[in-house]
Structures are given as structure tokens and as C-alpha cells.
Amino acid sequence: MRSGNNQNKPEEKGTRPITRRLSLLLLLWFVFFWVIMCTVDVRGQVPGQFNFQGVARDAAGKILASKPIRINVVIRSTDELDPYAYEEIHSVTTNNGGVFNIIIGSIGNLGSQGSLLDAKWGLKSYVLHIYLALNETGLEDYIDLGITPLLAVPSALFANNADNAKNADNAKLAERLQGDIPIVFSGSANSPALSNPGTGNKLIWHPQKAAFRAGTITGTINGSQWLDPEIGNSSFASGIDASAKGPVSVALGEGTTAKARNGVAIGSFNNDSDTPGVTAAETDRIFQIGIGKNYLSRLNALTVLRNGYIGIGEIFSTVEPKYVLDIGSRIRIRHDALGSHTAGIYFNGAQKENAAFVGMKTSNDVGLFIGDNWRFWINDGGNGYLNGALIQTSDRRLKRDISPLSNSLSKLSHLVGQHYFWKDSTKSQQLQTGLIAQEVEQYFPELVTTDEKGFKAVNYIGLIPHLIESVKSLKAQTELIGTIRAEMQALKAELSNIKTAASNHSNEPSK
């Protein structure tokens, strides 16, 4: 020792004559407390240090309460070829129970020699050699308490060695784990199969399948998803009960399932009703976003098939989309609040981009824009506008059971045209002209429809053929009237001629 105590301390190979009873008694107390404290206190120590606690008693076994003492600590290797040794001296005062505490490795308040960090913890065996002296008896009164094997390696010291494992068998790996050097793990088809990982938090690298798993297995309905047969080659799964069974598949989230080759499932509890084959197919689900709540309530917000078809919505049919975009509910297209574009959809023609547009004409009109002009639109009052002709299919070849109308004029004569106003304030409040559907239904039931709420509507265009037949009937009647009128005129002329002839005859002289 470089301290002043070195000349009065016994050599390692022998001790000064001491009372055997006192030496044995103190040794037993120190060994007892060393075993107890080293198995409890060292786990939370600063690297390079560990706690030591003991009880000081005199030769009569009386506790040395509140006494100043000196503790000389020596740690050395049991290997005669290993020159390692560490030594330090502490000056402490016992408490009322005679207990004292020191931190071995803290250099010691009276000096030290060597370093605990130089020891090969876990590879070599070491012993602890303790000396004790009462400060008031003088420097030459050290008591050799004997040697105690360090059967438990101080964890903080061993961890520090592990952090500096450059000389270990896996030194390169240890260095990579500490720095920025890439890490490469290898595997092959001959690697062992994965045993049952059980439940709980798991981190799995499966070399045989080049697959990775990280997360939690709860052992619920799908508790077997991380067994070897349920793991796809080159697959990745992370989360809670995430299953990537398909080759080169990915599953992230909770209860997600990716079955198809190259499939990706994220979110929570996606629909798992698909049954993909071994080889890739156009109808395989290669991307799914799950929004289900549990294993019995699996739903998808989005489903993408290998053929590019996309299904959106929670309903079952959208997980098997039949078109490029298959939507299971209403969609909403918003007005461009920052620009001048109204909400709508453009359609390309075979040779023209944006050939047509369906959407809002203004904030109150929705319609169809085609041919560089608005052709049809309806306003929020229910009024429709057609910028062109309304043409309906009427080819004879498309019709069956054709029969002529009858009594059209008689039926129309029972209808009464009306002026009225709509009760619904959302409709136009201008004066309206039309018919009453219930009246029309009495004579032309085929022209009246009734909706699910019981409200009736009239097919006004369907009245046109009846109007045509009525005009024809009126025309026939008019022609008949004309004929009768001509005949009457002829009869009048003939009667007039008769009257004239009779008058002339009566005026002739008698013979």
C-alpha cells in the first residue's frame, strides 16, 4: 500500500499473533454478513463497486457500538499464475448495533491499490481477505479475519465486463451490438424447426424460414399463430396475436392475419375469410386494413386484391371487390374551399381528357357538363333544366302486346287542371300548375306510381298518347260536324230553291 498504514499491516502469507477466540468470532460474523449482503445488495450497484456490511464484536462477543474502526480489504485471484490483486482501506464508525457499511471499489477513504475493473469476473475465482483494527489501539493492531471465497460474482462488475466483451468468443457480435456496425444473422433450410413459443411477450428469429416475430401471444382463439406451421417463409409479424402465414407476408397490429403470398395486413382484426392457394392468384388479398374489435367481429376498412381491385367499406362484399373500385357505402366529394372548383367527378373520353363532368354546377345546382356546356341540371328547388331534347326509346321491335288506346277523350274530360303551392318549404313556392295524382289514377292508373311512403306521382309524358288520341277523336268529330254542316247548307239551298219555285208558280196568271 502507498498509504501510511502499509508498514504496520501483516503480509498476505502470514499474520501477527492474535487472540484465536477474537479472530474466529469476528471471522464468523463477517462471513455471515458477506454471504447475506452479496446476494442482495450488489445487483443495484454502480459499475466497479459493491456493498459490504458487517457487525463488529470484541473477544467477549460484545457488540462494538459507535466505535471507530479501520477495515482493510484485499481481493486476489486464486490462480497462482494470475497476479491480480486489489486492496483498499476504509475508516468507518459502527452504529448503535455495531453494524458498519463500506463500498468496496470506492477507493477507500484511506487509499487503495489496483482496480476492480481489471478482474476477469465470471472467468476466474477470487477471494476476499478482511483485516480489522480499532482506531484507538494504533496502526499496528490489525486483526486478520481470514479469507472468504467470492462465490457470487458482483453483478455490476460482471455486466461491465460484458459491455467490454472484445476478447470474448463472440467479440465481433458484441462490438456490433454496441455500435453502428450492421448485424447479419444467417439461417438455412436445415436449421431446426421452431418449438412451441408459448404465450407472453416474445422476440423470435426463425432461421429455417428467415422469418421474424416480435410482440405478444395471448393464447386466445388464434393462440397458435406463432407455431412453426403458421409461420410463412420470409414473413414478418409484430404486435398482439399478429399472424403472417403467407410466404413473404407481413402482419402488424392486433389480431391481424395475412394468408396470401406477399400479403400485408395492418390494423386490428381484419377479415380472415379468404382461403388463398399455395400459388399466387389474381383474387388474393395482398393488402388489408382491419378495423375489427375482436376475433368474433372482424372487419376491413380497405381491401386490395392482386389484380388491382380495391374494396372500401365495412360490408362483407367489399372484401371481394368486383371492380377497380368497389365501395360499400356512400362517398363524399367536397367543394374546393380554397379554389374555384365545385365538387364532382371528371370522365375521360376515348380521345379527350375531361370529356364530361358530373357534379355541382353551382352551390345550389347539380348536373351534367358535356360537349363544353351544361346540358342538364336540377336546382335545390327540384326544378330540372334540359339544354337539348328529351328523347325516349320507342322502337316497335322493343315492345310487345301492343294495343290502341280507347276512350282517351272521355277519360281526359274527367281530369281537372289545378293551380297549387307546395307545402314543402324546401320546394319552389311559386304558383304551380298540374294535376292531382289521385284523380289521374282513377282513369289512368298506369300513369301513377306510389312510393314506399305512400306518396303518388304522375307520369305526365304518358298523357301525351292519350292527348293525341283525344285530338284525333276531336278531329273526327270536327270533320263530322263539317260534313253535317255542308249537308245542311245543301239542304238549305235546295229548300230555298223549292220556296222560290213555289213562289213563282203562285204568281203566274190563271188560264
Q: Which one, of 117, 95, 98, lies nearest residue 106 by Cα?
A: 117
Q: Note the pLDDT of residue 109.
A: 57
Q: Note the pLDDT of residue 284.
A: 97
pLDDT in tens, 199-217: 899 999 999 999 999 999 9
pLDDT band, residue 260 (cuts 50/70/90) = very high
Most confident range, picked from 146-155, 179-188, 235-244: 235-244
pLDDT band, residue 257 (cuts 50/70/90) = very high
Q: Which one, of 335, 349, 428, 426, lies nearest residue 385 by Cα?
A: 428
Per-residue three-class SS string for 12-60: CCCCCCCCHHHHHHHHHHHHHHHHHHHCCHHHHCCCCCEEEEEECECCC
pLDDT band, residue 135 (cuts 50/70/90) = low
- For the chain, where do the domains classified as CATH 2.60.40 start and end? 6-162
**What topology is assigned to 6-162 in CATH?**
Immunoglobulin-like (2.60.40)
Q: Note the pLDDT of residue 183.
A: 72
Q: E strand or H helix at 327, and its extent?
A: strand 325-327
pLDDT above 50 (res 486): yes
Q: In sequence order, what are the residues at sequence separation of 6 or more whose Cβ sits closer than 8 angstroms to the Cβ of residue 345?
A: 333, 357, 358, 359
Q: Is the CB of residue 429 less than 8 Å from the CB of residue 422?
A: yes
Beta-bridge partner residues of 287: 264, 304
Grid coordinates representing 314 are 365495412
Angle (CA) 317 320 322, round 5°? 95
Give this prediction's pTM: 0.56
pLDDT in tens, 219-239: 765 557 788 899 999 999 999
DSSP structural state of residue 208:
T
Percent of the chain, pLDDT > 90?
Answer: 45
Q: Is the CB of residue 6 less than 8 Å from the CB of residue 74?
A: no
C-alpha to C-alpha distance for 361 and 371, rounded to whole angstroms? 15
